[in-house]
Amino acid sequence: MVKHGQALAVLVIGWAVLVLNGCGGGGGGGAAPPPSAQHILLTNGRVVVEQVGREVFIQAGSSQLPGVGFDQDEVEVKLYRGDAFVNPRTDAPSQENFLRTFRVSRDGTLRDELRLPEGTYTAVAENIRVVQEGKEFRSALTAYVFQVFPRGDRLGTTLPKKFEAKFPAIGTVIEDSFVRFLTDEGAAGGTARLFVQHANGTVDMTRSFVAQTEAGEPVAAVSFEALPGGPALGNVSRLVLKAFKP
């Protein structure tokens, strides 16, 4: 009897203390607002491509992939043949399809030149960490799946001619975020897919490239906009962006 009385008393006191402690936070207006202005903004992404013979030539130094600022001096990016993430949730690149490694510097500038014939490619960077004004973004695996394709007598690509993104730092609610990029006009009508797997869930969005004109040049554009509301971004285990022509 005494024991039960004590248990009841402890529960009542604990309940009252914890409820009263909570009073300082406000008593009924809704949940705590998420931290604001905790996004990382990228505006300078671009890949400059030329055509040399039947290959696309990406010159070292002129391209930024994909316009991010890393905290590492040098990020190694592995290039694979084909789409290594047909199922972006579970697939992993196969060593059989490994082509080469290229380097990206701290400011996201390509250090090694690339020559790519027609085909589908997957570029994979592991354990990247982006820091911007104290805000941090980490991803265990980041991949970009793209195509080099014939378009008339020249080669087009689905690499980003211009890339911008606003994404949440770790711990920030995903809302008010976006990823936008422009690519070769030949991709218009094709699809782009963004897949993010993080500690609180996944985001899987598919969009179509639409034709538009940018500074007098015809391009294909795509935009991924986050929904209102959370969840907060946890540590990212996978970020896969895919861009395909029609």
Q: Give the integer Cα–Cα distance in Å for 185 and 173.
A: 34
| Whether 137 contacts 66, CB under 8 Å | no
Of residues 128 and 232, the one with the C-beta less far from other proteins = 232
Site string for other proteins, 217-236 (x = CB under 8 A): --------x-xxxxxx-x--
Find the shortest distance in angstroms from Cβ 223 to other proteins. 11
Q: Is 41 in the site for other proteins (CB under 8 A)?
A: no
Which helix (H) or strand (E) element contains residue 10? Answer: helix 2-21
Q: Give the integer Cα–Cα distance in Å for 78 and 170.
A: 25
Q: Is 12 in the site for other proteins (CB under 8 A)?
A: yes
Q: Give the integer Cα–Cα distance in Å for 8 and 31.
A: 30
Among the listed ranges 1-9, 103-111, 115-123, 183-191, the one in contact with other proteins (CB under 8 A) is 1-9
Among 158, 122, 164, 169, which Cα is nearest to 141's?
122
Among 146, 129, 147, which Cα is nearest to 138's?
129
Other CB atoms closer than 10 Å to residue 78's CB: what's the count? 18
Q: Is 14 in the site for other proteins (CB under 8 A)?
A: yes
Of residues 49 and 232, the one with the C-beta less far from other proteins = 232
Other CB atoms closer than 10 Å to residue 66's CB: what's the count? 24
Footprint on residues 111-150 left by other proteins (CB under 8 A)? none
Instruction: Supply φ then ψ for residue 99, to 5 degrees.
Output: -105, -55
Q: Give the integer Cα–Cα distance in Å for 53 and 59.
A: 15
Of residues 18 and 52, the one with the C-beta less far from other proteins = 18
Of residues 120 and 197, the one with the C-beta less far from other proteins = 197
Q: Is 71 in the site for other proteins (CB under 8 A)?
A: no
Integer Rg of the chain from CA: 23
Q: Is 199 in the site for other proteins (CB under 8 A)?
A: yes
Q: Is 1 in the site for other proteins (CB under 8 A)?
A: yes
Q: Give the integer Cα–Cα distance in Å for 172 and 235.
A: 11
Of residues 5 and 134, the one with the C-beta less far from other proteins = 5
Among 204, 208, 161, 187, which Cα is nearest to 65's?
161
Q: Which of 50, 126, 204, 217 binds other proteins (CB under 8 A)?
A: 204
Find the shortest distance in angstroms from Cβ 193 to other proteins. 9
Site string for other proteins, 147-186 (x = CB under 8 A): ------------------------x-x-------------
Q: Is 200 in the site for other proteins (CB under 8 A)?
A: yes
Q: Kindly list the residues in this chain that would bind other proteins in the complex (CB under 8 A).
A: 1, 4, 7-8, 11-12, 14-15, 18-19, 21-23, 25-32, 34, 171, 173, 199-206, 225, 227-232, 234
